Each structure stands twice: as C-alpha cells, then as structure tokens.
C-alpha cells in the first residue's frame, strides 16, 4: 500500500493535490489522504468542511477503461465501496445511496463523493474520485444540512486510516464487477426508493410528489408520479426536499 498512498497532514484539497500530479506516471488506485483540507471541495460550488483529523478525506486515481457514456459506473462503484466499508466497520443498518452519490443513514448525510473525469471522445482517460466520510466528528456547523457521522450513529470512534484502506480494497473489488451487477446493487440501495416524496423540478421550480423507481443504464433517475407517469432526470435537473 505504501507506494500507492500518501498522507498529508494539511493541504488545500486532496482532489486538487492529486490533479496537480503527473497522473499517468502513477498506479491506478493511487490515493492521497489528508488530515485537514483548507479548501475542501464539494460538488458544484459547494465547500466540504471537516474538522482536523476527525474524518476521512481522500482522493483516488482510477483508469476506468470505459466510454464516457458509462461514466455513471464510477459513481456506482464508489458509492458501493463506501457502503461496504461502513458495513465492514460498524453495525449501522439502513445505509442508503442518495442519487447520484451521497451516502445516507435515515435522512442524514454521512458521506459525499466528488468525481472528476478527464475525457477523450471515446474514453475516460482517468477519473479522480474524492471521498469525504464523516467518521469521528461529533458537532457540525449549523450551515451543513442534515449531517451525521459514524460516531454519532454508533457512539464509537474509528481508525480513519484503516477506513481509507478498506474503501480502496472495496473499490478494487467493485471495479472488477460487471456493469449490470453494479447497477443492480446500486438500485437496491437507493435512498427513498418506492416511497412517495416531494421533489423540486429545477427547470420550472415546481414541486411534485413522486416515487423513485430506480436509475437507468446511464444513471438517470427514474421517478413515477401517482398517475403512474414515468419521468427521467439528469444530474442537476431535480432536487430532493428532505
Ligand atoms: C459532496 O458531497 O459535495 C462531495 C464531497 C467530496 C469531499 C471530498 S473530501 C476529499 C476530496 N477532496 C475534496 O476537496 N473534496 C473531496
């Protein structure tokens, strides 16, 4: 593990750090982990804030060897690896994947994933997978919506480095798994599946009551309303009301 892994006590963002390296000279699954990030990045314009040395903050290099239209596979394997790593270390029940790639316990977020691909026309050249998992943190800023951590769920503290290695091992396994199994497993663990809830369609800022029925092969979210109309949403077209 040692040549494929570095630990930084403090950095701007593990994501930015890994991106600045000559990734083609690095082995697949090369990992950068930090104890603290001054400028941790979330999806979109969000920040990822985490107290020093309490949580898992890591970025992993992947050479997916697949076409850009299958990029949702990377989300699936990462989310599933995180679920497995949490299950391996705790007895937390009801760990779900909130589409596209947050990890939830009940209605609380325990982990977030930020995936950045470098694409050519026919291929994903490489992906940098950023993972933030709340491990030992007890108190969160009021500005973070519905957070939880492994400590808050179980009352126990965990070894963050061991969790990092567990995530990588599970990621390696899921990367060897065939596509249909990945999508099926992801679908089985979908947060709010088959429950009628409120969603906001961003295009026209209207809210609808619908149930999630799954994702399609491209990772689009499939919703069904009470009149049984099916709707398909791309990333950023819909938001959850939680
Ligand atoms: C999200 O839920 O918005 C995604 C959060 C991803 C956070 C992780 S922490 C390690 C890596 N480095 C970053 O700057 N961000 C990701």
Task: Give the residue carrying structure tokens 């990890």.
Answer: 103
Mind giving me the DSSP string for 171-204?
A: HHHHHTS-HHHHHHHHHHTBTTBT-EEEEEETTT
- pLDDT, residue 23, reads 97
For residue 90, give every residue at least 6 positions away whose Cβ sits within 8 Å of its Cβ, in sequence order, or none: 150, 153, 154, 156, 158
- Tell me the pLDDT band of 21, cut-offs 50, 70 and 90: very high
Closest listed residue to residue 103, CA positions, set 125, 75, 140, 126: 75
Cβ atoms 105, 133 nearer than 8 A: no
Q: What residues does ligand 1 touch, defined as CB less than 6 Å away?
A: 13-15, 37, 40-43, 46, 48, 57-59, 102, 112-114, 130-132
pLDDT in tens, 186-213: 999 999 999 999 999 999 999 999 999 9
Take atom 7 of ligand 1 and give the residue whose Cα is closest: 132
Q: Is 76 helix (H, G, I), strand (E, B) or coil?
A: helix
What is the enclosing helix (H) or strand (E) of 160? helix 160-175
pTM of this structure:
0.96
Ligand 1 mean position, distance from CA 174 (Å): 20
pLDDT at 72 over 70: yes
Q: How far is the CA of 68 from the centre of ligand 1 (A)?
A: 22
Distance CA 242, CA 236 (A): 16
Mean pLDDT of the chain: 95
Q: Is 17 left (phi over 0), alpha (psi -120 to 50) or beta?
A: alpha
Angle CA 14–15–20, to nearest 5: 95
Q: What is the pLDDT of residue 65?
A: 86
Which ligand 1 atom is at minimum distance from the Cα of 58?
Answer: 10
Q: Give the pLDDT band of residue 3 (cuts 50, 70, 90).
A: low
Tell me the CA end-to-end span of the chain in Å, nearest whole number: 39
pLDDT tens figures, 92-140: 999 999 999 999 999 999 999 999 999 988 999 999 999 999 999 999 9
Residue nearest to atom 2 of ligand 1 (CA): 112
What whole-number distance in Å separates Cα of residue 153 and Cα of residue 156?
8
pLDDT tops 60 at residue 1: no
Q: Which long-range contacts (CB under 8 A, 24 or more apart) does 155-162 make?
A: 156/90, 158/89, 158/90, 160/53, 160/54, 160/55, 160/56, 160/135, 160/136, 161/7, 161/33, 162/89
Q: 41 CA distance to ligand 1 centroid (A)? A: 5
Q: Would you state the pLDDT for residue 121? A: 84
Domains and CATH numbers, the chain: 2-188 (3.30.930.10), 196-240 (2.30.30)
Q: 215: CA distance to ligand 1 center in Å?
A: 23
Atom of ligand 1 nearest to the CA of 41: 14
Structure tokens at 234: 């791309």
CB atoms near residue 5 (< 10 Å): 17
Instruction: Give the closest residue (by CA) to ligand 1 atom 11.
Output: 130
3-state class of 84 per DSSP? helix
Q: Is the pLDDT of residue 145 over 70?
A: yes
pLDDT at 2 over 70: no
């Amino acid at each position: 593990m040692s040549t494929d892994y570095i630990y930084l006590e403090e950095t701007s963002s593990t994501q930015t750090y890994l991106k600045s390296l000559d990734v083609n000279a690095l082995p697949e699954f090369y990992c950068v982990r930090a104890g603290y990030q001054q400028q941790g990045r979330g999806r979109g314009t969000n920040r990822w804030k985490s107290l020093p040395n309490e949580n898992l903050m890591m970025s992993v290099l992947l050479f997916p060897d697949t076409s850009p239209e299958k990029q949702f596979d990377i989300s699936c394997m990462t989310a599933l690896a995180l679920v497995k790593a949490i299950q391996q270390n705790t007895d937390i029940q009801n760990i779900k994947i909130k589409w596209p790639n947050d990890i939830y316990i009940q209605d609380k977020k325990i982990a977030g994933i930020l995936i950045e691909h470098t694409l050519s026309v026919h291929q994903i050249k490489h992906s940098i997978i950023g993972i933030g998992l709340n491990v030992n943190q007890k108190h969160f800023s009021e500005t973070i919506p519905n957070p939880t951590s492994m400590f808050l769920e179980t009352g126990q503290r965990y070894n963050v480095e061991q969790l990092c290695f567990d995530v990588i091992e599970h990621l390696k396994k899921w990367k060897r798994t065939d596509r249909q199994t990945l999508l099926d497993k992801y679908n089985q663990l979908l947060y709010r599946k088959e429950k009628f809830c409120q969603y906001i369609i961003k295009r026209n800022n209207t809210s609808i009551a619908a149930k999630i029925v799954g994702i399609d092969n491209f990772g689009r979210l499939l919703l069904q309303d009470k009149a049984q109309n099916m709707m398909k949403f791309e990333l950023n077209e819909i938001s959850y009301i939680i």
